[in-house]
A = this chain, B = another copy of it.
Amino acid sequence: VALGVRATPAEGASLQAAFEGICEELRATRPTAVNLFWAIERMRRRFTEAFPRGGAVLRAALLEEALAIQAEDLESCRRMGDLGASLVPEGARILTHCNAGALATAGYGTALGVVRSAARQGKVRNVFADETRPYLQGARLTTWELAQDGIPATLITDSTAGHLMATHEVDVVLVGADRIAANGDVANKIGTYTLAVLAKENNLPFLVAAPASTFDLATPSGEGIPIEERSSAEVTHHGGRRLAPEGVRVRNPAFDVTPHRFVTAIISELGIARPPYTETLRGLLGR
């Protein structure tokens, strides 16, 4: 938003219209993760406040707000990491999904923030990183981040997670979240629900690490969370190479919903919520 407003020379009513267009374009990029809308609304409040002054002052205010969001997000990741590390057992073999790391946040990460803090305390024996089809964020990003930090990591296909849980090679499952409904239902990268069901079957803790900006108390349960369906080419092609026959039909939902009864705890920068989430999430937000 700050960059969009900086790029337009408009002022007054036409700046207002340009601002609405920028917000609408950003809102339309993705439907599932709620902190996108949260951040746009925060920029809107600052825009409204600074609008009467216009010009360079307005633009500087928006940049300041954006940098504040960035700094707060980094700080909240660090705090979430330190809080969440208390839930990681000694010698933990942690299984994670997708990338909930420094590359997906302003830095340090949510689920990987917890991993980083736990690793600093010497508690992490290994991290199993699901490759996370179709976009391979786990293979491409999570393994890279962990290698940079010298945290032992093992890449697996998504289907291998269940086998490793059943053969007692995993101690805890730890993921991020794109949106958490008022009752604690968690929308996150496709495959998360599967891991939660497998964790319950194998009596393993299933932990979710996410900033309070992903809590969506206006949405009562996961059924109300829109699930983005992405291009079939993500599944049928890799690197321009076709993996499946021409003309095959594809379903490619990018997220799924994990019902709250599978979630052992939700770790945020405000504290750790446990069931019943309807009360504990409100408690953390002070509502």
**Which residues of A are at the interface with B, using a C-beta cutoff of 8 A?**
128, 131-134, 136, 139-140, 143-144, 147, 152-164, 166, 190-191, 193-194, 197-198, 201, 235-236, 238-239, 241, 243-245, 247-253, 256-257
Contact = CB atoms under 8 A, between A and B. Distances in A.
B247 A147 contact: yes
A144 B242 CA distance: 13
Nearest to A97: B159
A245 to B, nearest CB: 5
A158 B133 contact: yes
B201 A153 contact: no
A197 to B, nearest CB: 5
A163 B244 contact: no
23 contacts: A131-B243, A131-B244, A136-B244, A139-B235, A139-B236, A144-B245, A147-B245, A153-B249, A154-B249, A157-B158, A157-B252, A159-B194, A160-B191, A160-B251, A160-B252, A162-B194, A162-B256, A163-B190, A163-B253, A197-B197, A201-B201, A238-B238, A241-B241
A147 B249 CA distance: 10
Given A133-B157, A143-B245, 19 more contacts: A131-B244, A133-B159, A136-B244, A140-B243, A144-B245, A147-B245, A153-B249, A154-B248, A154-B251, A155-B244, A156-B250, A157-B235, A159-B256, A160-B191, A161-B194, A163-B190, A166-B257, A238-B243, A241-B241
Contacts of A152: 249
A248 B144 CA distance: 8
A186 B41 CA distance: 52
Nearest to A222: B166
B159 A248 contact: no
Contact of A243 (B139, B162, B251): B139
B157 A190 contact: yes
Contacts of A159: 132-133, 158, 190-191, 194, 256
Contact of A241 (B128, B154, B194, B238): B238
Contact of A235 (B155, B250, B251): B155
A66 to B, nearest CB: 31
Most chain B beta-carbon neighbours within 10 Å: one of A132, A155, A194: A194
A161 to B, nearest CB: 7
A163 B256 contact: yes
B252 A136 contact: no
B194 A251 contact: no
Most chain B beta-carbon neighbours within 10 Å: one of A153, A164, A191: A191
Contacts of A161: 194
A238 to B, nearest CB: 5
